[in-house]
């Protein structure tokens, strides 16, 4: 017999309470999983035991314990099914109005009570039993099934309970029902509201209709809104206590565990923490995986728990975390590596170094090292072109050895109302369902990665609900029902909020800069952070999103002299390296040209590093390409750029580049190239 007490799951206590009060119950949530519940034993050495069953087995056992004489099960494919032929025969007598078995109370057999309040069309009395064959999910067949259920619910003689499983599959769009679907669900509602109470000398029962669905909004709202006969019951994922009971019951089944031995405390703690968010089926999969891969639950020599290794094997398909593979020497050189790529952003460099160390150690505030939250979260803010994206690339290259481990999403592409389906995948039945989501597919392929959500303020508001789940729980469920884990990722958001005011905020049409390069960093940082808080609190109306970011905001400063000179030198160095490796030629840029480029770049610092790069593209790269093409310069040559002439913005061709070409292989005399020209570079 199933026990209901304070130790029972909350949903079970609610079910026991309302099953005697309500006629219509909606059970939703974790309904496809095994459910855990205590049962009473007769054995003196063990009076209570926790066991597991699917929901169908649980309801059959639970309702039988409450002495319901008819318990029927139906779903979107099959007609009513019963536990036994005797129970089916009893229901057939109820629905056809035939005489009940002789042990029924005499008062209930009186003919005048059989036809009181007949629900719907009445069958002919004494009809032979109809065949109970599975039926296709057509509306007409389901109307027939609901009519049979209605007759059972309306009978006052035999306690009946009917469970409709997979109720979410009865319609694909509860907000846009077809005419037949509307009639079907109206029949369901009428059947439940016409349910009778069975009163006999041996007890009282409510005839029950129980609908099992994935989510409440999978069903039409008129079934449960303002319905005093209805109650919804949510089955949650296994909580900490339930996960602890699971490892205590199944510990001996893990590979390497001794029989009849309770798990060590460290194993229990690890299992409870690392199995957060897993279903009972998935926790059983950990046992199977441990046996199949021969991974002991504890190291036999040291007794160190292996739960983390088994969990990562299940979640990510790997036996060793890539975070554990990062060499200490690489992290020791992290600061010079990042500073070689990011110039002048001291606050950002320090914060990223902290995140790198925290990700390696794996600690989380208010939790243990077994946290399921992402390894790190950063929010990069500030003007455009100051190194936010470059910082993310540098972090990916540092940790994983390649920039391709940075998975970037431009959030301006996700501004439409249904764009969250592109990230997670379309729901079943919609176009593209089989392809999955862009985000979930990328993380499934590379669970150890850097995720960059660029210009997050441009995303549709519905996407922020997904970010809440990622930041809190470290997991998402895609359109195909697969759980994707983000607990081994570093997540970076970027935003230009506070740098530019647009439209009405700028005092009219167009936009204007709210912060300028000559502004002190402290003042600029305060303006940017205030704009971010206003956007999430008042524009989006989602302060809970802001709270998830915590103190992880990093405001990048404008690029100011002499940092612009370092960036010019860095870009010229990359150009020289590309010429040497790609074209097999030696490129020399004289100091005079370099100084002219610095002067030009300082006119575009409001656009950050992109402005500097654009200036070098227009004033150096494009004229140089013209020289190499016009002179048919071959590999192994030496090209010296010695002059850059700026004729001003009013000139038809602003920049002229002078260079000489020295073909090293032939030893020919140098050739002075005619000035190459390019259209004027204009500030945007």
At 479-501, the pLDDT tens digits run 777 888 898 899 999 998 887 65
**Per-residue model confidence as pLDDT tens digits over 155-195:** 999 999 999 999 998 888 888 899 999 999 999 999 999 99
Among positive and negative, which fits the CA dihedral 561, 562, 563, 568?
A: positive
pLDDT of residue 452 exceeding 60, the answer is yes
What is the pLDDT, as a whole number, of residue 370?
Answer: 52
Going from the C-alpha of 243 to that of each of 176, 260, 269, 598, the distances in angstroms are 40, 19, 10, 63
pLDDT of residue 134 exceeding 50, the answer is no
Which pLDDT band holds residue 44 (cuts at 50, 70, 90)?
low
Q: Distance of alpha carbon 467 from its chain centroid, rounded?
A: 7
Question: Domain-by-domain residue ranges, the chain?
Answer: 10-235, 240-320, 328-477+487-553, 563-678
Query: CATH number of the domain at 328-477+487-553, out of 3.40.605.10, 3.90.1150.10, 3.40.50.300, 3.40.462.40?
Result: 3.40.50.300
Average pLDDT over residues 669-675: 51
Average pLDDT over residues 394-410: 90
What is the pLDDT, as a whole number, of residue 126?
Answer: 38
Mean pLDDT, all residues of the chain: 82
Which pLDDT band holds residue 196 (cuts at 50, 70, 90)?
very high
501, 388 contact by CB (below 8 A):
no
- DSSP 3-state assignment of 486? coil
What is the pLDDT, as a whole number, of residue 427?
Answer: 67
**Per-residue model confidence as pLDDT tens digits over 586-626:** 888 989 989 988 888 888 777 777 888 888 888 888 888 88
Among positive and negative, which fits the CA dihedral 541, 545, 550, 553?
A: negative
**Per-residue model confidence as pLDDT tens digits over 89-126:** 999 999 888 777 644 444 444 444 444 444 443 443 43
What is the pLDDT, as a whole number, of residue 667?
Answer: 43
Distance separating alpha carbons of residues 545 and 496, to the nearest angstrom = 17
What is the pLDDT, as a whole number, of residue 511?
Answer: 53
CATH number attached to the domain at 10-235: 3.40.50
Strands 655-663 and 637-646, by their bridges, are antiparallel
Average pLDDT over residues 193-219: 93
Its pTM stands at 0.65
Distance separating alpha carbons of residues 395 and 341, to the nearest angstrom = 10
Q: Which range (15-24, 320-329, 335-344) has the least confidence?
A: 320-329
What is the pLDDT, as a whole number, of residue 664?
Answer: 59
Average pLDDT over residues 443-463: 90
Q: Distance of alpha carbon 71 from its chain centroid, rounded?
A: 38
Domains 10-235 and 328-477+487-553 share a fold: yes
What is the pLDDT, as a whole number, of residue 356?
Answer: 80
- DSSP 3-state assignment of 636? coil
What is the pLDDT, as a whole number, of residue 500?
Answer: 66
According to DSSP, the residues that pair with 501 across neighbouring strands are 512
Average pLDDT over residues 193-201: 92
Phi, psi (deg, nearest 5) at residue 177: -75, 145
pLDDT of residue 676 exceeding 50, the answer is no
**Per-residue model confidence as pLDDT tens digits over 363-372:** 544 444 456 7
Q: Distance of alpha carbon 401 from its chain centroid, rounded?
A: 26
**Per-residue model confidence as pLDDT tens digits over 513-554:** 678 878 888 898 999 999 999 998 988 888 888 888 888 899
Long-range contacts of 388-394 (CB under 8 A, 24+ apart): 388/494, 388/556, 389/452, 389/454, 389/494, 390/341, 390/342, 390/609, 391/338, 391/341, 391/342, 391/345, 391/348, 391/352, 392/450, 392/452, 392/492, 392/494, 393/341, 394/337, 394/338, 394/341, 394/342
pLDDT of residue 576 exceeding 50, the answer is yes
Rounded (10°) CA dihedral 182, 188, 192, 193: 30
- DSSP 3-state assignment of 56? helix
Residue-wise DSSP of 74-114 = E-SSS--EESSHHHHHHHHHHHHTPPPPTTS-GGGG-HHHH
Distance separating alpha carbons of residues 121 and 139, to the nearest angstrom = 18
CATH class for the region spanning 563-678: mainly alpha
- DSSP 3-state assignment of 358? helix
pLDDT of residue 504 exceeding 90, the answer is no
What is the pLDDT, as a whole number, of residue 672?
Answer: 52
A 10 A CB-CB count for 679 gives 12
pLDDT of residue 14 exceeding 90, the answer is yes
Q: Where are the beta strands (DSSP E) in 567-607?
A: 586-589
pLDDT of residue 683 exceeding 80, the answer is no
What is the pLDDT, as a whole number, of residue 109?
Answer: 43
What is the pLDDT, as a whole number, of residue 646?
Answer: 81
**Per-residue model confidence as pLDDT tens digits over 276-293:** 889 999 999 999 999 999
What is the pLDDT, as a whole number, of residue 679?
Answer: 36
pLDDT of residue 675 exceeding 90, the answer is no
What is the pLDDT, as a whole number, of residue 163?
Answer: 96
What is the pLDDT, as a whole number, of residue 650?
Answer: 77
Q: Which of 234 and 428 is assigned the larger pLDDT?
A: 234
pLDDT of residue 658 exceeding 80, the answer is yes
Helix-, strand-, coil-residue percentages of the chain, each rounded to 5:
45, 15, 40
């Amino acid at each position: 017999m199933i026990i209901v007490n304070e130790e029972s799951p909350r949903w079970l206590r609610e079910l026991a309470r309302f099953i005697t009060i309500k006629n219509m119950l909606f059970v939703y949530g974790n309904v496809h999983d095994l459910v855990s519940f205590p049962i009473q034993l007769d054995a003196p050495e063990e009076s209570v035991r926790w066991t597991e069953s699917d929901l169908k087995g649980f309801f059959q056992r639970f309702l039988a314990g409450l002495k319901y004489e008819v318990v029927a099960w139906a779903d979107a494919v099959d007609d009513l099914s019963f536990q036994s032929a005797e129970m089916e025969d009893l229901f057939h007598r109820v629905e056809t109005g035939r005489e009940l078995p002789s042990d029924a109370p005499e008062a209930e057999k009186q003919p005048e009570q059989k036809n009181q309040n007949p629900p719907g069309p009445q069958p002919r009395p004494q009809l032979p039993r109809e065949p109970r064959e599975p039926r296709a999910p057509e509306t007409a067949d389901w109307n027939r099934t609901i009519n049979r259920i209605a007759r059972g619910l309306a009978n006052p003689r035999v306690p009946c309970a009917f469970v409709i499983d997979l109720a979410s599959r009865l319609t694909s769009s509860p907000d846009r029902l077809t005419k037949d679907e509307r009639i079907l669900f109206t029949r369901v509602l009428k059947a439940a509201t016409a349910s009778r109470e069975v009163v006999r000398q041996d007890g009282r029962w409510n005839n029950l209709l129980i609908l099992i669905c994935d989510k409440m909004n999978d069903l039409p709202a008129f079934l449960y809104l303002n319905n005093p006969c209805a109650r919804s019951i949510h089955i949650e994922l296994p909580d900490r206590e339930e996960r602890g009971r699971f490892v205590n019951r199944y510990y001996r089944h893990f590979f390497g565990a001794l029989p009849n031995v309770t798990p060590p405390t460290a194993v229990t703690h690890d299992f409870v923490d690392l199995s957060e968010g897993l279903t009972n089926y998935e926790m059983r999969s950990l046992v199977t995986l441990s046996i199949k891969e021969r991974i002991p639950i504890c190291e036999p020599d040291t007794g160190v728990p292996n739960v983390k290794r088994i969990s990562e094997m299940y979640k990510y398909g790997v036996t060793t975390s890539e975070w554990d593979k990062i060499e200490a020497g690489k992290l020791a050189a992290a600061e010079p590596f990042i500073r070689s790529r990011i110039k002048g952003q001291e606050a950002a460099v320090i914060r990223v170094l902290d995140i790198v160390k925290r990700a390696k150690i794996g600690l989380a505030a208010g939790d243990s090292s077994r946290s399921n939250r992402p390894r790190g979260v950063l929010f990069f803010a500030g003007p455009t072109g100051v190194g936010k994206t470059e910082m993310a690339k540098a972090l990916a290259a540092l940790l994983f050895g390649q920039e391709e481990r940075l998975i970037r999403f431009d959030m301006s592409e996700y501004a439409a109302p249904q764009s969250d389906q592109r990230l997670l995948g379309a729901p079943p039945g919609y176009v593209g369902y089989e392809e999955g989501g862009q985000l979930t597919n990328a993380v499934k392929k590379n669970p150890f990665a850097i995720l960059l959500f660029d210009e997050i303020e441009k995303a549709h508001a519905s996407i922020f609900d997904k970010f809440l789940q990622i930041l809190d729980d470290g997991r998402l469920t895609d359109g195909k029902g697969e759980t994707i884990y983000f607990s081994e990722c570093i997540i970076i958001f970027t935003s230009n909020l506070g740098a530019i005011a647009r439209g009405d905020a700028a005092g009219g049409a167009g936009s204007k800069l709210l912060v300028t390069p000559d502004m002190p960093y402290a003042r600029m940082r305060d303006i940017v952070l205030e704009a971010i808080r206003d956007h999430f609190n008042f524009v989006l109306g989602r302060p809970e999103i802001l709270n998830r970011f915590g103190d992880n905001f990093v405001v990048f400063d404008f690029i100011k002299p002499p940092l612009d000179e370092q960036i010019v030198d860095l870009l010229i160095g990359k150009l020289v390296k590309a010429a040497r490796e790609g074209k097999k030629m030696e490129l020399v840029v004289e100091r005079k040209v370099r100084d002219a480029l610095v002067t030009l770049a300082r006119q575009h610092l409001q656009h950050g590093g992109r402005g500097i790069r654009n200036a070098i593209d227009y004033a150096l790269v494009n004229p140089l390409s013209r020289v190499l093409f016009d002179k048919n310069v071959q590999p192994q040559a030496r090209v010296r750029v010695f002059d850059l002439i700026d004729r001003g913005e009013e000139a038809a061709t602003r920049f002229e580049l002078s260079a000489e070409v020295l073909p090293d292989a032939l030893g020919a005399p140098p050739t002075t190239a005619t000035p190459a020209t390019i259209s004027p570079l204009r500030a945007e």
